Each structure stands twice: as C-alpha cells, then as structure tokens.
Amino acid sequence: MRTWTAAVVVVLAGVGCGKKKEEQQRTNNPPAPREVTPPKEEAPPPPKKEAPPPAETPKVDCAAFVTPADIEKACGGAKVELTAHATEGSNPMFTCNRLVNAAGKKGMIANIKVMAHPGASGAAGYAKLIKDATPISGIGDAAWSKEKEQAALKMTNYDVGFTKGVFVVELSESKDSMNPKPPCTVAQLTELAKVLVTRLP
C-alpha cells in the first residue's frame, strides 16, 4: 500500500515538475510578436478643376446698331421711328428689342431684335431650329429669310435673320389689315441685314 502511494506521489511530482518546466520555457522564450501589416493609405483624389467663369457677352449699343436712317436707306425711303421695348436689356435674349413705327403714327409695323446665345451651341444651335427658311449666303455665320402665311389671322409674316458669334439678329414685319404695306420687302430687309452685321462685335 505504501509502495503504491509512493508511486502516485512520484508520478504527480513528475507531472508538476513538467508543468513548471513548460512555464519556465514560456517565460524564458516568449512567442515572437506577429507582424501587423498597416492598412494601405489611399492616395487623396485629385483636386477638382473649377470651371472657368463664363465669358462676358459683348455689349451692343442698340441706338447705334440700327437707326431710322438705316431703314430709310435700305427700304426705299420709308419714314419710320424706332423705340426701345420695355424688355430691351433685361436679359441676353433681349439684348436689343426695337419697335419700328411709321413716322408720326402709333402701332408697330416691324421689329428688330438682337439676342445673345452664349454657350457651346449658342447662336448656331438657335439657327438650326429655324424651319422652312431659305438660306442666305454672305451675311454673318449663317443667314436666312422666311415667309409664313397665317390664313386664320389673315396675316403674312416676313423675316430675315442672321447669326454672328453669340448673337442672333431677327428683322421681322407682318402684312395684315392694320399694316397692308410693310415698310420693307424681304430683299430690302436682306440689304439692311448686310449693314447691321458689320455693327456687331
């Protein structure tokens, strides 16, 4: 019985010594630290390029752009007066908006407009929207004439227009019961357009 007990004590002592040796080895030889890979730093996005400010629309002196004398010369001596519409200068679409009246009379008989269309398409894009027009060569970047009858209104509209740079110019008049004889023919409006195109910047 004593022999068996002694054997058990010896075994337990051996186990205890083994554990102490393992702990001693762990203390003397700690595990090597693990290498931690730092996260990759992402490059910051490139700074956004600011769009350049839009170019300022060139100024047009509406009073000098077209005068009664210009219309009289181009349209066979027609005596007219020009007045600025209330919308003139309010925005680029109404850079100039001149009403044409017969001298000494009330009532518009024609209209001359200058519109600015800045941007990539600009005036060229506007000109493409004109339908059923006859092209005119030799005036600005593009030019056209147009005649349209409105039977329901007993009216015929006559227009000559052209583009130059950012500008669109339209010369318009109508033939109706109030204005049975417009001041200019389409051919005469075309001659007037040849003069006006030279006055745009």
Residue 121 domain flag: yes
Which of 141, 139, 148 is CA-nearest to residue 189?
A: 139
Distance of alpha carbon 142 from alpha carbon 188, whole angstroms: 18
Helix (H, G, I), strand (E, B) or coil at 152: helix
Residue 129 lies inside a defined structural domain of this protein: yes
Please count the structural domains in the chain: 1
Q: How far apart are CA 174 and CA 157, in angstroms?
A: 4
What is the distance between the alpha carbons of residues 158 and 103, in angstroms, rounded to a whole number? 21
- CATH number of the domain encompassing residue 96: 3.40.1000
Chain center to CA of 60: 21
- Residue 157, domain member (yes or no): yes
Contacts of 12 (CB under 8 A, 6+ apart): none
pLDDT score of 118 = 83
Domain-embedded: residue 169: yes
Is 163 domain-assigned?
Answer: yes
Q: Which residues of 24-60 are buried (b: 16+ CB within 10 A; e: fewer)?
A: eeeeeeeeeeeeeeeeeeeeeeeeeeeeeeeeeeeeb
Place of tokens 């004889």: 181
Instruction: Answer yes or no: is 113 within a domain.
Output: yes
Among the listed residues 82, 73, 153, 157, the one whose alpha carbon sits nearest the alpha carbon of residue 114: 82
* pLDDT by residue, tens only, the chain of 201 residues: 444 444 444 444 444 555 555 556 555 666 666 666 767 777 777 777 776 655 677 899 999 999 999 999 999 999 999 999 999 999 999 999 999 999 999 889 999 999 999 876 789 898 889 999 999 999 999 999 999 999 999 999 999 999 999 999 999 999 999 999 999 999 999 999 999 999 999
Give CA separation, 65 vs 52, 62, 109, 166, 199, in Å.
30, 5, 19, 16, 6
**Which residue segment(s) compose the domain that 107 sits in?**
62-199
Question: Does some domain include residue 34?
Answer: no
- Tally of CA atoms within 13 A in the half-sphere of 192 that contains its CB: 31
CA-CA distances (angstroms) from residue 33 to 29, 30, 36, 164?
A: 12, 9, 9, 77
- State the first-to-last Cα distance of the chain, in angstroms, to the nearest integer: 125
Domain-embedded: residue 21: no
Torsion angle defined by CA atoms of residues 5, 8, 14 and 18, in that order, rounded to the nearest 10 degrees: -140
What does the pLDDT read at residue 69?
98
